[in-house]
């Protein structure tokens, strides 16, 4: 096919090589990023291997209630005699899954809206931007709370609610990137050759717009995990019999004066994961050369 050879290569090749080196040097230098990668890897492994690693069934109630951390129960037990370590380990699955699923949804649909708005302009842009302005009138967390209030709790609803709350961030970034890139000569060149809009958007605009989107996605995963934990803590999360970090904290809240471990460890898990992702996000921002104002 001749049009393949004529395809004006977007200037990604050269920066890509540079980018790879930059990645290496940033992550080799940045202690925080290394710490983040290690901690996150441990949590991901823990989530995947939870069925094998958890010493007890996370929902199994025993008479060994509110016992402090010991060899038998690494992080102690709760008021119903359930093993806190096993519950937190299983909770890792939910937290990480919600974080990734939410951001994937928000990214796909947000970027789609943003690219359409930026590329076509006109009434399409107007409709999409008015919708985004409307969403801008609510704090993100309030959107998620309201959506869960209307559609009910549960894993899927929580994911959709948080994803919708984040949608506008991705749409805004994608749109502004497209508006800048649209003026580039290689886009004109592609258009002159008669490539379809879809091809131009997918092959020429999107790859060059990815840097700020990747950084935003990383940061959003940490916000999504915090958001899910907050919803669960308020009783608006995944079902009451699923051990999620927010729910474990909420259940343990009444007993913290007698059992500090119920108040400390679930929150520590949330903080470690979110901190790791934030460290990685910060290094990515450096490596991809994204300025804070782009986001």
Residue 264 CB, shortest distance to other proteins, in Å, is 7
* Burial readout 260-286 (b: 16 or more C-beta within 10 A, e: otherwise): ebbebbbbebbebbbbbbbbbbbbbbb
Residue 275 CB, shortest distance to other proteins, in Å, is 4
Minimum CB distance to other proteins smaller for 101 or for 229: 229
Minimum CB distance to other proteins smaller for 17 or for 151: 151
Minimum CB distance to other proteins smaller for 3 or for 133: 133
Residue-level length of the chain: 295
Residue 273 CB, shortest distance to other proteins, in Å, is 8
> Rounded CA gap, 149 and 3, in Å?
52
Residue 39 CB, shortest distance to other proteins, in Å, is 11
Minimum CB distance to other proteins smaller for 70 or for 254: 254
Q: Taking a C-beta distance cutoff of 8 angstroms, is the pair 174, 118 a contact?
A: yes
Task: Read off the DSSP letter of residue 132.
Answer: H
Q: Count the Cβ atoms, other than its own, within 10 Å of residue 52.
A: 6
> Rounded CA gap, 69 and 150, in Å?
40
Residue 201 CB, shortest distance to other proteins, in Å, is 27
68: left (phi over 0), alpha (psi -120 to 50) or beta: beta
Q: Which residues bind other proteins (CB under 8 A)?
A: 32, 133-134, 136-142, 145-146, 148-152, 222, 226, 229-230, 233-236, 246, 249, 253, 256-257, 260, 263-264, 266-267, 270-271, 274-275, 278-279, 282, 292
């Amino acid at each position: 096919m001749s049009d393949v050879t004529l395809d004006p290569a977007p200037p990604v090749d050269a920066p890509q090589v540079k980018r790879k080196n930059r990645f290496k040097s940033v992550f080799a230098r940045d202690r925080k990023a290394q710490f983040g990668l290690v901690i996150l890897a441990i949590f991901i492994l823990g989530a995947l291997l939870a069925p094998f690693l958890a010493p007890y069934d996370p929902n199994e109630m025993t008479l060994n209630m509110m016992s402090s951390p010991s060899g038998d129960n690494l992080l102690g037990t709760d008021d119903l005699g359930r093993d806190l370590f096993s519950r937190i380990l299983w909770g890792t699955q939910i937290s990480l899954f919600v974080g990734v699923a939410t951001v994937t949804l928000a990214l796909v649909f947000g970027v789609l809206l943003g690219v359409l708005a930026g590329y076509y302009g006109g009434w399409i842009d107007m409709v999409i931007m008015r919708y985004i302005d409307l969403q801008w009138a609510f704090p993100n967390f309030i959107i998620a709370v309201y959506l869960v209030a209307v559609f009910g709790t549960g894993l899927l609803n929580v994911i959709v609610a948080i994803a919708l709350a984040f949608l506008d961030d991705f749409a805004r970034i994608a749109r502004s990137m497209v508006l800048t890139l649209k003026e580039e000569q290689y886009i004109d060149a592609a258009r002159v050759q008669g490539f379809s809009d879809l091809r131009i958007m997918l092959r020429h605009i999107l790859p060059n717009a990815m840097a700020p989107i990747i950084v935003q996605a990383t940061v959003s995963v940490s916000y999504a995990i915090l958001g899910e934990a907050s919803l669960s803590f308020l009783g608006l999360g995944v079902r009451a019999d699923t051990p999620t970090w927010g729910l474990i904290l909420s259940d343990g809240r009444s007993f913290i004066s007698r059992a500090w471990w119920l108040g400390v460890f679930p929150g520590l898990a949330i903080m470690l994961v979110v901190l790791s992702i934030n460290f990685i996000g910060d290094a990515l921002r450096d490596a991809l050369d994204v300025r804070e104002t782009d986001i």
